[in-house]
Amino acid sequence: MMTPLLKKRANSRKSRHREPRDYATLFKSGSVFLKQGNYLEALDCFQEAAKLRPGSQEACQALGQVYERMGRFGSAKQMYRQVLETDPGNIEAMIRIAHILEKEGDYHQAVQFYQKAIETNPQATAPRFQLALLYQHYDMFDEAMEAYTALLMKDPTHPAAWLNLGQLLFQLGGSPEAANLTS
């Protein structure tokens, strides 16, 4: 037996499917639903968009984000890997896979994906910062310090890197000078 809310939702989905929809409309609608946290509707829109443009990196990336937020990590990684098949240099997909691997407890593989993203785009700061955070989180202090330093060589004004490096140095040596790095 369907509750009134489920009936309304089912009817809403049915009527939406009857409307002729183009890729752009479906993608925009999926993006809105994703931002609202309405993952089932977002998933539905992005899947329909992907059917209209098979192999679309944009649709695969969006589907990966929805699956990731739903906790369906295997499906999310599969979508991000599809992106990497068509665009091996897509560091956003590499970073997303690394995040998922961290959540799954596969830190070794996560490090490899961050390092691959850094090798792919040596100027990118996001994978360097994420790698440094991963090292710091798991008390790999030398590696964290090296990663923060490498990041600050690329972007000397990265405030979060300075803050975390200062905290790390303070934690390691208790030096008040290290704490000043954060101000």
Residues 42-59: tens digit of each pLDDT: 999 999 999 999 989 999
CA–CA distance, 124 with 52 (Å, rounded to integer): 32
- pLDDT given at position 55: 86
Q: Measure the CA–CA gap between 87 and 94, rounded to whole angstroms.
A: 11
Average the pLDDT over 34-42 and give the result: 97
- Average pLDDT, integer, range 128-154: 95
pTM surpassing 0.85?
A: no
Residue 146 CB-density burial (10 A; 0-12 exposed, 13-18 middle, 19+ buried): middle
Q: What is the pLDDT of residue 85?
A: 95
pLDDT in tens, 57-97: 999 999 999 999 999 999 999 999 999 999 999 999 999 99
pLDDT at position 44 is: 97
Question: Dihedral through CA 42, CA 44, CA 46, CA 52, nearest 10?
Answer: -160
In 39-73, which positions are buried (b, 16+ CB within 10 angstroms) versus exposed (e)? bebbbbbbebbbeeeeebbebbbbbbbbbbeeebb
